[in-house]
Amino acid sequence: MTKEEKKKMDSDNNIIYVGNKPPMNYVSAIMAVLSSGSYSEVVLKARGNAISRAVDAAEITHNRFLTDAEVTNIDIGTEVVTNEEGRKSNVSSIEICLTMKKTEK
């Protein structure tokens, strides 16, 4: 891995792709990123049916584990996905940005 590649990877390490696993898996991932000290922000990305799971993960994190983590931005969009038969279809997507509140010391 070149330095360039490593740098790119590092800069994307605060993006979590939400899929079909139980919501708590993503909550753990969010907490790992936010408590690593490297990032004050984490972005959850999801498509299709996983959208509701991304919302669940953000809400569980904020309500139960990290009350200092706030939802600062939500974007929705549409992505074109090509299926196995080569047909294109549209699928909705969401990006949820969770940011740690700055606490005064």
Q: Minimum distance from CB of 72 to its own copies (Å)?
A: 12
Q: How far apart are CA 71 and CA 30, in angstroms?
A: 12
Q: Minimum distance from CB of 18 to its own copies (Å)?
A: 11
If the CB atoms of residues 38 and 63 are measured against its own copies, the closer one turns out to be: 63
If the CB atoms of residues 16 and 50 are measured against its own copies, the closer one turns out to be: 50
Edge-to-edge strand ranges of the sheet holding 69-82: 15-18, 41-47, 88-100, 69-82
Q: How far apart are CA 36 and CA 59, in angstroms?
A: 20
Q: Among candidates 101, 93, 91, which has minimal Cα distance to 34?
A: 101
If the CB atoms of residues 38 and 72 are measured against its own copies, the closer one turns out to be: 72
If the CB atoms of residues 33 and 44 are measured against its own copies, the closer one turns out to be: 44
Q: How far apart are CA 82 and CA 88, in angstroms?
A: 4
Residues contributing to the site for its own copies (CB under 8 A): 48-52, 55-56, 58-59, 63, 71, 74-78, 90, 92, 94, 96
Cβ atoms within 10 Å, residue 30: 26
Q: Minimum distance from CB of 39 to its own copies (Å)?
A: 21
Q: Minimum distance from CB of 9 to its own copies (Å)?
A: 29
